[in-house]
Amino acid sequence: MINTHLVQLYPSRITVTPPRAKTEFHKVKFNSQSPHQYIAEKNNFKSNFEKKNNPFILSKASKKKLMDSINSMYILSQPRNIKMQTGKNIFNYRMSFITLTLPAKQKHKDTIIKKIILNQFLIEIRKHYNVKNYIWKAELQENKNIHFHLLIDQYIDFQALRRRWNRCVEKLNYVSDYRKKFEKISLLNYHKLRNINTEYPFEKSKKAYALGKKNNWQNPNTVDVRSVYSKKELAIYLSKYITKPIIKSKNAKNEETRQITFGRSWARSTSLSNLKYQNKYLVSEVKHLLNYIISEKEKVKTIISEWYTVYYFSAETLNKKFQNFHKLFIINNAKLYKYPFPT
């Protein structure tokens, strides 16, 4: 490893690259014969261009931005205890993973749903619950309805979230459509509907049916909330929801025309969008750090190419000295960009 190469530290990776030559629309490539020399090679933009124009596929650049934002948000949200309205305590709370769905068959374009419903919901949780850091990602369900996964670092009561989301979806009459569908349905037919895709216990159907009638079918179960306490839980949610394709491959061909009007598939708060990792160090300045990372072969995934070397890691699996250094670096870097830490 050459001492003049540049090192950049991110929430879950370290990159080592040569000093960049100033070549417009080119990327620097190592000369395999002499690592001190570089060859300017034209970028192949075709693959990234196609992905950029297909909202159903996240480009490599988008995936990196998404994962950097999620990992930053997790690190910068320190564990804290939350007292719920019921009097119960949530210990070591860090984030909430929220799923938002439509209660009836989608009848508007995806862009309209995002503009009228999702945007209004985000405005309200920013205003009423001081939510400043968030990430959302859209996904298509089996029934072809759009739904959203949302990560926030402020605790909000589940019932409060559901009331707000249902009020927002009613702007386009989706709660009314839900009520029309169920207000005259029998318990037996209601149970049959709930068992179309999965086996559902009759007693649970009976309880849900009674609650629906009590609320005059105006408070559908459109929101699911899971608290995140550890990196392991976050990793499960990421693999299950956030990083998976927006639409299942078997349905992709049938939804080709939908790509044109789908719009953005994910977004983040301004606080996370503004957060950059631009500090660069010479290898000679952080050699002790790199030597340790390289030594942890079983805990660190290493990608080596002609242009760069990347070390992927989960800080929690490494020694305390590295964890403390890494955490302090991420926090100090966030302060430079005036990141709004959650309270």
pLDDT digits (tens, 9 = 90+) for 11-61: 999 999 988 744 333 333 333 443 333 333 344 444 444 455 677 788 888
Over residues 59-95, the pLDDT tens digits come to: 888 889 999 999 999 999 999 998 887 888 889 999 9
Q: How distant, in Å, are the alpha carbons of 93, 119, 321 from that of 328?
A: 20, 34, 11
Q: Among 100-104, 123-127, 149-153, 233-237, which stretch is predicted with the lowest mean pLDDT?
A: 233-237
Identity at 317, one-letter amino acid code: T
In a domain, 202, yes or no: no
Burial of 138 (0-12, 13-18, 19+ CB in 10 A): buried
Give the residue from 212, 100, 104 showing the smallest Cα distance to 162.
Answer: 100
Give the residue from 133, 132, 99, 123 showing the smallest Cα distance to 237.
Answer: 99
Partnered with residue 146 across adjacent β-strands are 140
In a domain, 306, yes or no: yes
Q: Among 6-15, 36-45, 104-113, 301-310, which stretch is predicted with the lowest mean pLDDT?
A: 36-45
Instruction: Identify the pLDDT of residue 253.
Output: 60
Q: In total, how many domains does the chain have?
A: 1
CB 169 within 8 A of CB 275: no
In a domain, 220, yes or no: no
In a domain, 14, yes or no: yes
In a domain, 39, yes or no: yes
In a domain, 193, yes or no: no
In a domain, 321, yes or no: yes
Distance of alpha carbon 232 from alpha carbon 70, whole angstroms? 13
Q: What is the DSSP track for 128-190?
A: HH----EEEEEEE-TTS-EEEEEEESS---HHHHHHHHHHHHGGGTHHHHHHHHHTT--HHHH
Q: 287-295 and 320-336 helices cross at what angle (nearest 10)?
A: 130
Give the residue from 161, 127, 139, 134 showing the smallest Cα distance to 150.
Answer: 134
Give the residue from 132, 122, 134 showing the smallest Cα distance to 96.
Answer: 134
Domain encompassing residue 323? 6-48+277-336
In a domain, 112, yes or no: no
Burial of 33 (0-12, 13-18, 19+ CB in 10 A): exposed
Give the residue from 321, 314, 279, 277 showing the smallest Cα distance to 299.
Answer: 314
Distance of alpha carbon 26 from alpha carbon 16, whole angstroms? 18
